[in-house]
Amino acid sequence: MLALLGATTLMLVAGRCVLPAASGEANLKPKNVEIHIIDDNFFLKWNSSSESVRNVTFSADYQILGTDNWKKLPGCQHISSNKCNFSSVELKNVFEKIELRIRAEEGNNTSTWYEVEPFVPFLEAQIGPPDVHLEAEDKAVILSISPPGTKDSIMWALDRSSFTYHVVIWKNSSSLEERTETVYPEDKIYKLSPEITYCLKVKAELRLQSRVGCYSPVYCINTTERHKVPSPENIQISADNQVYVLKWDYPYEHTTFQAQWLSAFLKKIPGKHSDKWKQIPSCENVTTTRCVFPRAVFSSGIYCVRVRASNGNGTSFWSEEKKFNAEMKTVILPPVISMRSTTDDSLCVSVGASEESENTPVNPLYPLIYEVIFWENTSNAERKVLEKRTDFTFPNLKPLTVYCVKARALIEDDRRNKGSNFSETVCEKTKPGNTSKTWLIAGICTILFSIPVVIYVVRVFLRCVKYVFFPSSKPPSSVDEYFSDQPLRNLLLSTSEEQTERCFIIENASIITEIEETNEIDEVHKEYSSQTSQDSGNYSNEDENSGVKISEEFLQQDSV
C-alpha cells in the first residue's frame, strides 16, 4: 500500500520533472514577431517566450512568396538578443511579397517555425529622414535636401524625384513662431530676419501614396548680417503682344541688374543646378527696374526667374525666384468677324482667326470658343452668346433693321486666361423679308374679300333694325293677292299719308239695308279673310281700306 503510494509519488515527481522538458520546445518559439523597415534598413523584432535567461538563440529564413526555396536571412542567424538587422539581404525586387520564418534554438533543440505574415517590403517601408544641408544669407536660408535613403537605395530607386519636402522653421529664441513650407530639394526659405538663429527640421512625403516620413534632426543656422546691397523684390512678368516684360522693385538708383531663368522641371531633380541658370537676353546689366525680351525665349512651359542687383558696394544676393507658366500668358489675338444678311430675316455670322495668329503657333494649343455680343444698332439691349462654331446664324430678326456684332476668343473652360480683345464691330442691315411682303399681300386680299362680306353683314343688320324699329306697311303676300289691282305703291304710300276717309252721303234707306246686309256678309267675309291674316297691324288699315273699297263699290253700283 505504502509502496504503491511511494511509487505513485515518485512517478508524479518524475512526471513533473519530465513534463517541463517536453513543453520547453513549445516555450522556445518566439512571439510577437514584427518587421520594421526604414528606407533600406530591415529589422526583425520579437519576444522570446521563456522568461529565464538561457542559452537561446534565434535564426530566420526567408523566401519569395510562391517559390519553395527557403534561404537563410543574413544578419539574423543565431541571434541571442530580441532583434536583428537583415539589411544586407539583397532583395532583387522590393515590390514582391516576401515570406519570413523564425525559430529559437537551444543547443540541439529547435522550436517550431514562427511564420510571419507575407509582406511587400515597399508597402511596409517607412520613409526615413532626409539629409539636409544649409547655407545662410541675410534674409534667406538655402536648403539642399537629399532624398531619404542612399543614392543607391533600392527602396526609393524609382521615387527619388517624386518626394516633396515639408520644412518647419522657427526662431531659436521662441519656438512659438513656427512656419511650415513645402519646398523643392534645392530651394530657399525667404522673409527671414538678419542675424537671427533659426532652427528647422524637414520631412519627406510621397504624395501619390499618401505616405509621410519621419522628421530629420533639428538643424540650426544663423542668418548673416544685413547685406549692403539689398536684393530686388516683387518680380512681375507680364506678356504684351510679342514680348515679355519683366519688372521688379528696387529702392535705390544707380544700380545695374541681371536676370536669369531656369526650366522649372530641374527643381524636381535632387542635386545642385546652379550651373543650369541662363541669362535672359537683353536683361543683362540693365539700369532700369524693368527689361523686355522676346517671347521666343520661353516656349510653352514653366520657368523660374531671378534677378540680382549690383552697384559700387557689391552684388546682392539673388532675389526670390518667381515661377511663371508661359502657357497662362498666352496672348490670343482677337478674331476676324464678318456678317451678311440672308433671306428669312436672319444674319449669318462668320468668325475666323486673324491672319497674324495663323503665323504664331500659340493658338492651336487650345480649343477656342467665341463670346459673341449682338445688338440692335438703335437700342442698347445686348445679347451675349457663347459659340464653339465659327459659322452661325441669328434668326427671327426684324426686317430692315441694322444689327451689330463683335466677338472675342476665349480658351474653352480656362477662366485663368482672359482671352483676346474684342474684334472690330461689324454692322449689317436685315433684308425686307419675304414674309412681310406676303403678309402685306395677304392683308390686302383679306381686306378686299372682306369688304363685300362686311357690306352684306351691315345690310342685313340694317334690315333687322328697320324691321324692328321702323316696320313697313306692306302686307303679307297672301293678303296682297286680294289687292293685286291696287298698286303696291298706294299701299306703301298710304302709310305716310294721313288717312282721309271718303264719305258718301246715302239718301235712300232701303238700299242702305240691302247694302248693309251685303256689307255685313262682305264684312263677315272680310273678317274671316282678315282673321286668317296674321298681320294685325294691317287689319285696322284693311278695315279702313275695305271700308273705302265698299263705298267705292257702292258708288259703282250706284252709278249702275
Partner 1 sequence: MTYRCLLQMALLLCFSTTALSSSYSLLRFQQRRSAAVCQKLLRQLPSTPQHCLEFRMHFQVPEEMKQAQQFRKEDAVLVMYEMLQQIFGILTRDFSSTGWSETIIEDLLVELYGQMNHLEPIQKEIMQKKNFTMGDTAVLHLKKYYFDLVQYLKSKEDNRCAWTVVRVQILMNFSFLKSLTGYLRD
Which of 62, 79, 77, 72 is closest to 118 using CA atoms?
62
Is position 450 an interface residue for partner 1 (rule: CB under 8 A)?
Answer: no
C-beta contacts of 531-536 below 8 A and 24+ residues apart: 532/478, 533/475, 533/476, 533/478, 533/479, 534/476, 535/475, 535/476, 535/479
Q: What cell numbers appear for 187 in the block?
A: 530651394
Closer Cβ to partner 1, 114 or 303, answer by number: 303
Q: How far is the CB of 399 from partner 1 (least distance, A)?
A: 39
Q: How far is the CB of 388 from partner 1 (least distance, A)?
A: 12
Q: Which of residues 17-56 bind partner 1 (CB under 8 A)?
A: none
Options 160, 295, 306, 526; binder of partner 1; rule CB under 8 A: 160
Options 24, 25, 27, 96; binder of partner 1; rule CB under 8 A: 96
Q: What cell numbers appear for 328 in the block?
A: 497662362
Could you tell me where the DSSP H helices lie in 49-95? none
Per-residue contact string for residues 104-123; x = within reach of partner 1 by CB under 8 A: ----------------x-xx
The label of the residue with cell 306692306 reads 474
Partnered with residue 246 across adjacent β-strands are: 237, 291
Is position 162 an interface residue for partner 1 (rule: CB under 8 A)?
Answer: yes
**3-state class of 428 per DSSP?**
strand
Q: What cell numbers appear for 275 in the block?
A: 550651373
Q: How far is the CB of 387 from partner 1 (least distance, A)?
A: 16
Which region, judged by CB under 8 A, interacts with partner 1, from 12-20, 172-180, 298-306, 525-533?
A: 298-306
A 10 A CB-CB count for 167 gives: 21
Q: Which of residues 334-393 bind partner 1 (CB under 8 A)?
A: 365-367
Which region, judged by CB under 8 A, interacts with partner 1, from 165-173, 412-420, 511-519, 525-533?
A: 412-420
Residue 65 · residue 96 · CB < 8 Å: yes
Which region, judged by CB under 8 A, interacts with partner 1, from 89-97, 111-119, 340-348, 550-558?
A: 89-97
Identity of residue 104: A
CA 63 to the chain's CA centroid: 53
Is position 161 an interface residue for partner 1 (rule: CB under 8 A)?
Answer: yes
Is position 301 an interface residue for partner 1 (rule: CB under 8 A)?
Answer: yes
Q: How far is the CB of 63 from partner 1 (least distance, A)?
A: 18
92's CB contacts (< 8 A; 6+ apart) are: none
Options 208, 468, 503, 509; binder of partner 1; rule CB under 8 A: 208
Is position 327 an interface residue for partner 1 (rule: CB under 8 A)?
Answer: yes
Which region, judged by CB under 8 A, interacts with partner 1, from 61-69, 92-100, 216-224, 312-320?
A: 92-100
Closer Cβ to partner 1, 291 or 305, answer by number: 305
Q: How far is the CB of 189 from partner 1 (least distance, A)?
A: 22
A 10 A CB-CB count for 297 gives: 16
Identity of residue 501: E
Q: How far is the CB of 434 from partner 1 (least distance, A)?
A: 42
Options 180, 210, 241, 378; binder of partner 1; rule CB under 8 A: 210
Residue 321 · residue 304 · CB < 8 Å: yes
Identity of residue 365: L
Q: How far is the CB of 448 from partner 1 (least distance, A)?
A: 58
Closer Cβ to partner 1, 369 or 385, answer by number: 369
Q: How far is the CB of 272 from partner 1 (least distance, A)?
A: 14
Closer Cβ to partner 1, 366 or 483, answer by number: 366
State the Cα–Cα distance between residues 75 and 82, nearest whole angstrom. 13
Q: How far is the CB of 147 from partner 1 (least distance, A)?
A: 11
Is position 93 an interface residue for partner 1 (rule: CB under 8 A)?
Answer: yes
Q: What cell numbers appear for 554 in the block?
A: 257702292
Is position 95 an interface residue for partner 1 (rule: CB under 8 A)?
Answer: yes
DSSP string, 467-507: HHHS---PPPHHHHHHTSSS-HHHHHHHHHSPP--------
Residue 309 · residue 228 · CB < 8 Å: no
Is position 124 an interface residue for partner 1 (rule: CB under 8 A)?
Answer: no
State the Cα–Cα distance between residues 350 and 340, nearest whole angstrom. 9
State the Cα–Cα distance between residues 73 and 84, nearest whole angstrom. 10
Closer Cβ to partner 1, 39 or 159, answer by number: 159
Q: Which of residues 216-275 bind partner 1 (CB under 8 A)?
A: 263-265, 268-269
A 10 A CB-CB count for 94 gives: 20
Which region, judged by CB under 8 A, interacts with partner 1, from 14-22, 153-161, 388-396, 490-498?
A: 153-161
- Residue length, the chain? 560
Which of 107, 97, 159, 102 is closest to 128 using CA atoms?
159
Is position 412 an interface residue for partner 1 (rule: CB under 8 A)?
Answer: yes
Options 105, 205, 376, 414; binder of partner 1; rule CB under 8 A: 414
Size, binding site for partner 1 by CB under 8 A: 34
State phi, psi for 126 to the nearest 5 degrees: -95, 145
Closer Cβ to partner 1, 154 or 199, answer by number: 154
State the Cα–Cα distance between residues 16 and 9, nearest whole angstrom. 10
Distances in whole angstroms, Cα of residue 327 to Cα of each of 304, 412, 467: 14, 14, 92
Is position 181 an interface residue for partner 1 (rule: CB under 8 A)?
Answer: no
Closer Cβ to partner 1, 14 or 157, answer by number: 157
- Residues at the interface with partner 1 (CB under 8 A): 93-96, 120, 122-123, 157-162, 207-210, 263-265, 268-269, 300-302, 325, 327, 365-367, 411-414
